[in-house]
Amino acid sequence: MNHAAREAITALLKGVFEQRENEKAWEELVGESFGTISDYFAVIGLEPMIDEAEGYAFLRQKEAEEEEEALPKLIPARELSYRVSLLIVLLRKRIADFDMQNESIRAIVSKEELIGDLLLFMPQTFNEVKLRRELESAIKKVEELGFLKKLRGEAHVYEIRRAIKAFVDAQWLSDFDARLQAYREAGLWI
């Protein structure tokens, strides 16, 4: 296995790997070394998921075959809070709108824009400072999940990572809409 293939493996282990982060490693991932890299991860029950058109890749837990015994989960499913889920949906919608309106590959958004979007779905409160702190915490969590990337030299400006498209699909949005409706009906805002 060559050095660029090992760099691709390392990048995948860190999270979402974008083509522009390392062109040489990306070429190995989608090219000659794909089989070797896939075999490497298959041993531990993972598989690389690649979207060449969007230029990103990530690891996903491989489903066990019928005759195989399932391996322990390495990538845990996380239950997200209402605010974090809402922000992810809003980011997914933003990137869809951005794709229709712009030719640039990077979707850029400020923290204030994100907070403004979230406030539309929050109940009126007397403690605006506390609410703002909670919304900033949700933004930080989404950044930790890898859907937002802080721009260098910019304190409060983010790039929406294109990999969000793979995680937030039509089924996920539908499930979220049902939960959102339940929150509205119950008056719960977690």
At 161-177, the pLDDT tens digits run 988 888 887 677 777 77
Which pLDDT band holds residue 87 (cuts at 50, 70, 90)? very high
Domain-by-domain residue ranges, the chain?
3-61, 82-186
Q: Which residue has the higher pLDDT, 162 or 76?
A: 162
Which pLDDT band holds residue 190 (cuts at 50, 70, 90)? very low
CATH of domain 82-186: 1.10.10.2260
* Angle of the 111-119 helix axis to the 128-145 helix axis, nearest 10: 120
Residue 18 Rama label (left phi>0; alpha psi -120 to 50; beta): beta
| 3-state class (DSSP) for residue 157 | strand
pLDDT exceeds cutoff 80 at 61: yes
Residue 45 Rama label (left phi>0; alpha psi -120 to 50; beta): left
pLDDT exceeds cutoff 80 at 184: no
Q: For 88-135, what is each residue's pLDDT tens digit? A: 989 998 888 888 887 667 889 999 999 998 988 887 778 888 999 999
